[in-house]
């Protein structure tokens, strides 16, 4: 999708001027600030079979081998860098750790030979901290606050052209230690950063808004994003402070939080409040219904228990009254069972005539 977007973008850049000044490192995938320890992430995409991964350093146009990793033979670091370079624990990703000094400033390249996709290249530049600070001013306030939602898409709107002719368009992501090139479009070239080639979509039409969409964002995409536009009538730069929802950002935005840009795929806050209200109402109704059912069951059980006790008490009372009547007058009709037994015995002894022949 990124190459299709690039083609569409470049087809719309027929208005670009020919003479565009090339800035240093403008087509480097990642510009790093030199520190005691620098981590260079090659980021093997794992969409094709890796044949071999290698690191080199460019010194005055000459490539010096640093390290090699082969899936079947393991890793190897060349003697010149044996003390300053190490593979990280997950060496299949190709990331290395560089214990940097002033001598380690320069240009680095990670190349991955893969089956089907061929050779994948990622360019790095390790520069002096003062140069890094001067070139990319830190602490500059953001124009817009953006909240990303992991696993969704994020759209950044740079501004409207209003009929101006575009000379150059550059998207970058800036953190305290690294500047990642997302895309750089001119008339002569179209460059998309290594880490964004499968994830971005650019939108550019005359007299319309310039925007960038990054797909499948994660928490690793947090940072300051810059959109730099050079037109025939001037230039402007717009900064976006991207953070995860619920986390505080260290960079103060220039606009109030109520003017936040909604990330594509992010739900509307008013809708979220409505959903929460509905959830609370449904929960209250369900809880009330449960309490009512339990109350009815308890009342029925109590009534049945009282009825059983009452019937048992009446039964015992009836037995006691019959026993008392029997003891008072055994032949009384009040004790019909005794009277009936007496009559039945008397009826059994009736006299009958007996005839005898002598």
> Residue 88's domain is classified under what CATH number?
2.60.40.10
349 falls within a domain? no
Nearest to residue 56, comparing CAs of 19, 85, 21? 85
Q: Is residue 183 within 8 Å of 196, Cβ to Cβ?
A: yes
pLDDT per position as a tens digit, 130-174 = 888 766 555 578 889 999 999 999 999 988 877 778 889 999 999
**Same domain for 261 and 313:** no
170 falls within a domain? yes
30 falls within a domain? no
**Same domain for 230 and 311:** no
pLDDT per position as a tens digit, 311-348 = 888 888 878 777 777 767 665 554 455 445 555 555 55
**Same domain for 279 and 147:** no
355 falls within a domain? no
**Same domain for 122 and 80:** yes
**Same domain for 140 and 215:** yes
The CA-atom distances, in angstroms, between 189 and each of 11, 16, 202, 343 are 12, 11, 15, 129
Better-scored residue on pLDDT, 11 or 190 = 190
DSSP H or E stretch at residue 39: strand 37-40
Residue 51 has pLDDT above 70, yes or no: yes
Task: Residue 182: give the domain boundaries.
Answer: 1-21+131-266
Convert 145-165 to b/e letters by CB count within 10 Å (16 or more is b): bbbbbeeebbbbbbeebeebe
Residue after which a domain boundary falls, among 127, 159, 179: 127
* pTM confidence score: 0.60
Report the C-alpha gap between 196 and 171 in whole angstroms: 11
Number of domains in the chain: 3
**Same domain for 151 and 212:** yes
Per-residue pLDDT, 352: 65
**Same domain for 218 and 148:** yes
353 falls within a domain? no
**Same domain for 236 and 290:** no
Report the C-alpha gap between 113 and 109 in whole angstroms: 13
pLDDT per position as a tens digit, 16-31 = 333 333 345 567 999 9
239 falls within a domain? yes
**Same domain for 252 and 158:** yes
Residue after which a domain boundary falls, among 98, 127, 156: 127
Residue 14 has pLDDT above 50, yes or no: no
In terms of Cβ atoms closer than 10 Å to its own Cβ (0-12, 13-18, 19+), residue 73 is exposed
**Same domain for 137 and 115:** no
Residue after which a domain boundary falls, among 76, 100, 127: 127
């Amino acid at each position: 999708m990124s190459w299709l977007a690039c083609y569409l973008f470049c087809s719309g850049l027929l208005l670009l001027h020919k003479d565009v000044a090339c800035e240093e490192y403008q087509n480097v995938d990642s510009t790093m600030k030199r520190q005691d320890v620098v981590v260079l992430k090659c980021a093997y995409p794992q969409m094709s079979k890796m044949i071999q991964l290698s690191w080199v350093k460019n010194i005055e146009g000459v490539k010096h081998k640093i390290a090699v990793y082969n899936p079947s033979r393991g890793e190897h670091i060349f003697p010149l860098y044996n003390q300053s370079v190490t593979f990280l624990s997950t060496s299949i990703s190709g990331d290395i750790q560089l214990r940097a000094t002033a001598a380690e400033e320069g240009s680095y390249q990670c190349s991955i030979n893969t089956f089907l996709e061929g050779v994948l290249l990622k360019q790095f530049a390790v520069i002096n901290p003062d140069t890094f600070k001067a070139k990319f001013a830190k602490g500059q306030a953001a124009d817009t606050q953006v909240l990303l939602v992991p696993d969704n898409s994020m759209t950044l709107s740079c501004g409207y052209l209003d009929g101006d002719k575009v000379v150059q368009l550059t998207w970058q992501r800036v953190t305290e230690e690294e500047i990642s090139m997302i895309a750089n479009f001119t008339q002569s070239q179209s460059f998309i950063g290594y880490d964004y080639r499968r994830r971005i979509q650019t939108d550019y039409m005359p007299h319309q808004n310039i925007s960038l969409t990054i797909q499948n964002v994660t928490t690793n995409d947090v940072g300051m994003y810059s959109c730099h536009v050079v037109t025939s009538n001037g230039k402007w730069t717009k900064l976006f402070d991207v953070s995860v929802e619920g986390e505080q950002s260290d960079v103060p935005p220039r606009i109030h939080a109520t003017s936040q840009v909604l990330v594509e795929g992010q739900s509307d806050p008013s809708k979220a409040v409505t959903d929460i209200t509905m959830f609370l109402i449904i929960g209250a109704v369900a809880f009330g219904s449960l309490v009512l059912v339990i109350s009815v069951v308890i009342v029925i059980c109590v009534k049945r228990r009282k009825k059983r006790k009452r019937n048992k008490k009446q039964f015992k009372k009836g037995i006691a009254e019959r026993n008392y009547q029997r003891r008072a007058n055994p032949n009384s009709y009040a004790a019909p069972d005794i009277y009936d037994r007496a009559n039945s015995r008397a009826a059994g002894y009736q006299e009958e005539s007996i005839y005898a022949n002598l």
